Amino acid sequence: MSPVSNAPHSRSNSLNPSPGLAKAQLSVPVRTHSRSTSASSINSDVLNRFGYPTYRQMPVYMSQNQQTPSPDLFATNFMPYTNAPMPEPPIINLEGTFDMPIDLETISRTCSMSPPPMLPPVSTISMLSYLTQPTQPINLVRHLTFQTGRGLTNHFWWDIRNVRSWKSFSLQTMSAIPDLLTLLNFEHDTACLPLTSSNASTVTPASEADLANLISKIYFPKINAATRLSLGNNSVALYVAPAPTSSGLSANSANIPTFLANYPSDNDRTLSGLPRGRVVGLVRSFDRWNTGMRREGPARKVEYLRTLAHLQKCMRDHSCRYGFIITEIELVCVRAGCDDRGHPYFGYLEVAESVETKTFTRNGNEADGSVNMTVTLALYYLLMLAKATPLPGQPGSFMDVGGPGTLTRQRVWDGGNGGSTITVDEDGDVEELGKDGKDKWMPEPQMGEKREARTVRGWVWPSDPWHKREGEREQFVEFYYKTFDTDRTQLAALYRQNSMLTFEKDPFLGTQNILEKLTNLPFQKVQHRVDTTDAQPSDEQGGILVMVTGALLVDDQPHPMSYVQTFNLRPESGSYFVFNDVFRLVYAASG
């Protein structure tokens, strides 16, 4: 409020007084004063004769012969005004009391008695209902393709030794995990979720590659959206595995996974050049693999175990504990068996109950607890198990396999005490063990299969000693020289701060110094040729010593130069780094 405009003696700016106040009368008390009788001779006649016209409406002057009371400290006797017009009230300016200007037109606008328009209702759905909706059915693959020929894989079906039921992979376990059921029942705006296809027509894939693309389009968007709402933008996501950057046996499609799941921020890679997955998956046509093959004849059992061996190979290559196999008809989730300390058993897999792709939950059945395990819900739970922070009471996704030199394949499950032929697991299932602790229902490999295994990887049984072919030396050597010939700056990922390079007698310590030496070599183009590769274990921690001989061509020189290079590889998170590197050119002996 302005202290100036609200002063008690401020005058109105209006020339026309308010009609309601024009005839109002106000009795204003006047305080009288006592004076001496000789103080003044002015009376009412003098005032009427000589007074200014403005004062003619003043109260009549009282003569001095009236009795005047004695002066008091406070006035007690008053004389009211008579027939005096009331002064106009001052205008109070309240402009300074508002923080923002007032729109008088808005204030004086007529108010409508009708209610405001209703907003359209927001459509919501719980994540549990979203993940249990029906999905588009897929028909059987039209054309089956089988791997032909030998030497295409470095895993074999008898690598699987024990198959147990993963009974804890269930809705009961999910509901017992703190806050997981609350998270699934939380309502979300349907606009935040990908639209589900309402097409009920069956699609027919032409091949397993076509089947993999259909699965990624039908299931993965829903699963990834659910994990993103649960974990944030940087969440575990499923996708089709990219093509490996390296070549050779380990980069063959028969040895790598079809699907991968990891965080977008994960940067680790395997020796084949693939991103390291927290979950790996395989796709198979139903005629090539299904859960019923375990109860059929020996040939079908072999095919059943062959796919499980492929999945185990992928899980060990990626150092992850969780995987799955999906067909047109069913999904099977798998967990690698480990001991109490998290060390894996070679050939021990826990297989969950299969989930049919046609399974879904009807609308409204979630309220009464009638929820079925669907493919999308099962894969969502598998990804939640594989996240960076494990779910309460569940093991994490990382599995410390170590390098081939550590010989972790020799750690097999012996049935608990190593001497019993009949075992009872924690769920009460009875399994009869056969030779060397394997499940008795598994067939024995043929002599030709054993010879192939020894030729390809150098060993047949997990208890066999280490062989130089399992050192992954071919992958490393191929990757190293391919990177050297194309972009030497990328070699920095293979060295560490304590790595040492000896190049023609000159030592270089640390990643920066090594990279500076390699990038400043006096040539632009180089091409390596590898003639021989030898390897052997270098220590008990899984290190590998690799020696390479060959020749190289630099720039436009017509004659190649022979070289010898030795690497000391150290294991690190399932892969290797170069701890020692010794390079020397071999010159022809002078006569």
375-385 vs 220-231: helix axis angle to the nearest 10?
40
Please, is 591 exposed, middle or buried when counting C-beta atoms within 10 Å of its C-beta (0-12, 13-18, 19+)?
Answer: exposed
**What is the separation of C-alpha 218 from the centre of its chain, rounded to a whole number of angstroms?**
20
Backbone φ/ψ region at 418: left (φ over 0), alpha (ψ -120 to 50), beta: left
Q: What is the pLDDT of residue 322?
A: 97
Which stretches does DSSP call E strand in 46-161?
124-126
Q: Higher model confidence: residue 83 or residue 499?
A: 499
Phi/psi of residue 341, each to 5°? -90, 0
For residues 532-570, b (16+ Cβ closer than 10 Å) or e, as one string? ebebebbeeebbbbbebbbbbbeeeeeeeeebebbbbbb
Answer yes or no: is pLDDT of 36 > 60. no
Backbone φ/ψ region at 171: left (φ over 0), alpha (ψ -120 to 50), beta: alpha
Number of residues in the chain? 591
Residue labelled with tokens 């390291």 = 276
Residue 407: closest CA among 275, 277, 571: 571
Q: Higher model confidence: residue 529 or residue 117?
A: 529
Q: How many Å apart are CA 535 and CA 567, to the nearest integer?
A: 9
Domains of the chain: 124-143+154-402+444-458 (no CATH), 470-586 (3.10.450.50)
CA angle 28/29/34 to nearest 5° reads: 145
User: pLDDT tens-digit profile of 355-395?
Assistant: 999 887 665 555 555 788 999 999 999 999 999 998 998 99
Mean of pLDDT values over 298-307 = 95
Answer yes or no: is pLDDT of 487 > 90. no
Answer yes or no: is pLDDT of 283 > 90. yes
Element (DSSP H or E) covering residue 314 = helix 298-317
Mean of pLDDT values over 542-563 = 87
**What is the separation of C-alpha 18 from the centre of its chain, rounded to a whole number of angstroms?**
73
The amino acid sitting at 168 is S
Answer yes or no: is pLDDT of 521 > 80. yes
CA angle 205/207/213 to nearest 5° reads: 65
Q: How many Å apart are CA 356 and CA 376, to the nearest integer?
A: 11
Q: Which two tokens stand for residue 556?
A: 């436009």
Q: How many Å apart are CA 104 and CA 546, to the nearest integer?
A: 88
Contact 384, 391 (CB under 8 A): yes
Q: What is the pLDDT of residue 456?
A: 85
Answer yes or no: is pLDDT of 28 > 50. no
Dihedral sign (CA 246, 247, 248, 249): positive
Element (DSSP H or E) covering residue 50 = helix 44-50
**What pLDDT band is residue 213 in, cutting at 50, 70 and 90?**
very high
Tell me the chain's radius of gyration from C-alpha atoms. 46
Other CB atoms within a 10 A radius of the CB of residue 336 amount to: 22
**What pLDDT band is residue 104 in, cutting at 50, 70 and 90?**
low
**What is the separation of C-alpha 391 from the centre of its chain, rounded to a whole number of angstroms?**
15
Percent of the chain at pLDDT exceeding 70: 70
CA angle 516/522/526 to nearest 5° reads: 95
User: pLDDT tens-digit profile of 119-167?
Assistant: 777 788 888 988 988 888 899 998 887 665 567 788 999 999 999 999 9
Three-state DSSP class for 217? helix
208-218 vs 220-231: helix axis angle to the nearest 10?
40
Residue 405: closest CA among 457, 499, 472, 479: 472
Q: Which two tokens stand for residue 281?
A: 């998956």
Answer yes or no: is pLDDT of 29 > 60. no
Answer yes or no: is pLDDT of 55 > 50. no
DSSP 398: B
Q: What is the pLDDT of residue 360?
A: 79
Residue 215: closest CA among 283, 143, 288, 157: 283
Element (DSSP H or E) covering residue 526 = strand 526-537
Q: What is the pLDDT of residue 4?
A: 41
Q: Flag the least confident range among 222-226, 255-259, 273-277, 308-312.
A: 273-277
Q: Which two tokens stand for residue 524?
A: 């632009």
Percent of the chain at pLDDT exceeding 90: 36
CA angle 273/507/537 to nearest 5° reads: 50
For residues 309-329, b (16+ Cβ closer than 10 Å) or e, as one string? bbbbbbbbbbbbbbbbbbbbb
Other CB atoms within a 10 A radius of the CB of residue 184 amount to: 23
Contact 318, 276 (CB under 8 A): yes
Other CB atoms within a 10 A radius of the CB of residue 531 amount to: 10
The amino acid sitting at 366 is E
Other CB atoms within a 10 A radius of the CB of residue 115 amount to: 6
**What pLDDT band is residue 206 in, cutting at 50, 70 and 90?**
very high
Q: What is the mean pLDDT of the chain?
A: 78
Residue 275: closest CA among 575, 579, 495, 515: 575
DSSP 439: B
Q: How many Å apart are CA 238 and CA 262, to the nearest integer?
A: 7
Q: Flag the least confident range among 88-102, 303-317, 541-555, 573-587.
A: 88-102
Q: What is the pLDDT of residue 591?
A: 47
